[in-house]
Amino acid sequence: MPNVGETVGSYELVRKLGAGAFGEVWLARHIELGFERAMKIPTDSDYIQQLRKEGQIQFTLKHPNIVETFDLDTHHATPHLVMEYVEGEDLRKRLRARGKLPPTEALPIVRQILDALHAAHAQGIVHHDLKPENILLAADGTVKVADFGLGRVQATVAQSLLLSGSMVSREGKSVSGTFEYMSPEQQRGEPADPRDDLYALGVIGCLTVIVIGVLLVATLRVNGIPFREWLFNKSKSSPEQPPTPKQPPVLRWRGLPSSSSLDRRLSISVDWSTQDADVDLIVVEPDGTTSRLRRSSRRIPPRETWSTEDARPGRYEVSVQYCEGCTVPTTVSLDVVLHGKRPESPAPPRILRPGSRETIAFVEVR
């Protein structure tokens, strides 16, 4: 276990800031330059690989409302993650000390959290463990969201429902996060989805910041049932049947020249938000010919393009396969050009889960 005054890399440990199922967070001071950082140190070797994944995820997030990651060393004798130190308090401490926050104070907090989530979701990253402890409040009013990726830490035993960790759903799937703030889908062990974060923020905003204030989840009752029991029963109940998914859009063009004089060049491109992911672009031509292109994760930017100089009349099916080994959803955007023009109505972006294959559009050539 680390101790005060111990040297870790270029830093000296000053004091412990907190501890959880994953390990400890310390205030660390650079030995030569004197600036201070927060340092996360796993207390069990089983968490080193997870620390590496968390550091890699957080390093890609550069936003004023997200705690910045500066360094990661999992090969050091004391593996550690070096992050921005936010001098202030977390939201849970403030609520316990002051109770219900006035709207003039609560709304700017919620707004800044939304800004942070929007930036993360745009890169295909889901927090998956949003809760008051992970919302840091600086003295100048700036809000910093911390611990992106922490919800995927697999704890051997969940000591409490208020600790981040791994549980098992009734379907036998691993469930990571904090129970009170989990969406029913997350409680059932379904893949991470940006809407899980919005659900958690809704619980934080409506149940703690605006209504309850002091986070009395232990005494809160819903229809006479203790809050935790109500949540647990809700997670066990059979999920509602999802609505019938919308049909992929059909992309069409107006005002093109007649087919005899039409430049038949057609290009279909997909972009996606997760930099280190392999994505397959699959195009099925009107005669059934299928082309499958894979963009390697080593290539930047993340785009793949299929094209032909002689587009045949008929309908082209455009599908995307997202890699099985990826850990977060990705946002896919489609760009189609025929005769140097884009369709009258472009296809909307789609969020794909790891391992999924979806038809994202049909392209109609006349």
Known catalytic residues are 129
Q: At a CB cut-off of 8 Å and minimum separation 6, what does 170 contact?
A: 188, 236
The residues that bridge with 334 in the sheet, in sequence order, are 270
**Contact status, residue 263 vs residue 255, Cβ threshold 8 Å:** no
d(CA 8, CA 6): 6
Burial 47-82 (b: 16+ CB within 10 A, else e): beebbbebbebbeebebebbbbbeebbeeeeebbbb
Question: Residue 269 — φ and ψ, nearest 5°?
Answer: -125, 145
Question: Residue 14 — φ and ψ, nearest 5°?
Answer: -95, -55
| Assigned token pair, 133 | 């402890």
Question: Residue 116 — φ and ψ, nearest 5°?
Answer: -65, -45
**What is the β-pairing status of strands 36-42 and 80-83?**
antiparallel
| Assigned token pair, 52 | 């590496």
